[in-house]
């Protein structure tokens, strides 16, 4: 159940027996010629909502404005600085814990969020905040490898595009129909955690916004498989995580 669709009476009733909540975090940034601007928040939000339904938990509204400075060369991207994001994340966690949500399970969809979120989580009681990318579980990665292999790439990935296709709409591929330049291992290592450099350099090196990802391989039925696998795996992790306080 979504926190924003509850009354405070319902939340108080929930907290009488439960301490866990899902918190999805994404971004608002370009995702190539056929990817929606809100892809990261849309994916993490939908997966967290499905996982919450499976686990009988509440899910907070997604955090959609996060650091994405490297994509500011592409129209539609909205980026906030790391300090601003970290402060907002800190205050959201503190608000939730103040009300009794002592087990906060973060479902992340954007690599640049990880470092500031992990730093902030250290300010809270050990084990009270769990941070997981939606693609982390083994079953999800098996599907990604099966469907796309090395063409999953790093940004505007076919897996995340497929999820938004299943949820919203399928855009024509446009330039994404062309096979992208395959990344070499050194580039993958250099760009881990969304370290893509300045906006000008990033757009110059990847002019259509994709980073080694063949977005056009995405299909809505792939997205449904990925949604189900991610939600199922994360709901199981959440149950164990939330039960540690009971």
H/E stretch holding 222 reads helix 220-243
| pTM for the structure as a whole | 0.96
Domain assignment present for 29? yes
Q: Which two tokens stand for residue 110?
A: 């954007």
Q: How confident is the model at residue 246 (pLDDT cuts 50, 70, 90)?
A: very low
Distance (Å, whole) CA 147 – CA 59: 29
- Does the residue 206 lie in any domain? yes
pLDDT of 75 > 60? The answer is yes
Distance from C-alpha of 190 to C-alpha of 181, rounded to nearest angstrom: 16
Tally the domains of the chain: 1
**How confident is the model at residue 193, as a pLDDT?**
76
User: What are residue 103's phi and psi, to 5 degrees?
Assistant: -130, 105
Average pLDDT, the chain: 96
Q: Which range of residues forms the domain containing residue 7? A: 3-240
Q: In Å, what is the CA distance from 146 to each residue of 66, 151, 189, 217, 223?
A: 30, 11, 22, 12, 13
CATH of residue 100's domain is 3.40.50.10310
Residue 187: inside a domain? yes
Is 238 strand, coil or helix? Answer: helix
Summarised one tens digit per residue, pLDDT across range 158-177 is 999 999 999 999 999 999 99
168 falls within a domain: yes
Res. 10: pLDDT tops 80: yes
> Is residue 246 domain-resident?
no
Q: Which residues contact 117 (CB under 8 A, 6 or more apart)?
A: 25, 86, 89, 106, 108, 131
Would 55 be classed as within a structural domain?
Answer: yes
Query: 91-119: per-residue pLDDT in tens?
Result: 999 999 999 999 999 999 999 999 999 99
Say what angle helices 39-55 and 220-243 make with each other, to 10 degrees.
Answer: 50
Q: Is residue 245 part of a domain?
A: no
Q: Residue length, the chain?
A: 246
59 lies in a domain?
A: yes
Tell me what the mean pLDDT of segment 219-229 comes to.
98
């Amino acid at each position: 159940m979504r926190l924003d669709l509850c009354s405070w009476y319902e939340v108080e009733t929930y907290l009488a027996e439960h301490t866990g909540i899902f918190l999805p975090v994404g971004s608002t940034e370009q995702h190539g010629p056929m990817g929606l601007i809100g892809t990261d928040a849309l994916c993490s939000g939908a997966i967290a909502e499905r996982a919450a339904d499976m686990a009988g938990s509440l899910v907070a509204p997604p955090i959609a404005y996060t650091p994405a400075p490297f994509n500011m060369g592409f129209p539609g991207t909205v980026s906030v600085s790391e300090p601003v994001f970290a402060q907002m994340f800190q205050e959201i966690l503190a608000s939730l814990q103040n009300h009794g949500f002592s087990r906060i399970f973060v479902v992340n969809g954007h690599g640049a969020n990880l470092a500031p979120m992990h730093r902030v989580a250290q300010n809270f009681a050990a084990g009270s905040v769990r941070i997981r990318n939606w693609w982390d579980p083994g079953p999800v990665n098996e599907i990604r490898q099966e469907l796309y292999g090395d063409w999953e790439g790093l940004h505007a990935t076919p897996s995340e595009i497929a999820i938004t296709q299943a949820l919203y709409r399928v855009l024509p591929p446009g330039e994404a129909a062309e096979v992208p330049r395959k990344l070499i291992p050194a580039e993958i290592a250099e760009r881990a955690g969304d370290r893509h450099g300045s906006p000008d350099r990033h757009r110059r090196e990847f002019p259509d916004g994709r980073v080694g990802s063949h977005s056009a391989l995405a299909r809505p039925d792939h997205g449904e498989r990925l949604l189900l696998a991610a939600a199922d795996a994360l709901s199981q992790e959440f149950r164990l995580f939330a039960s540690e306080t009971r």
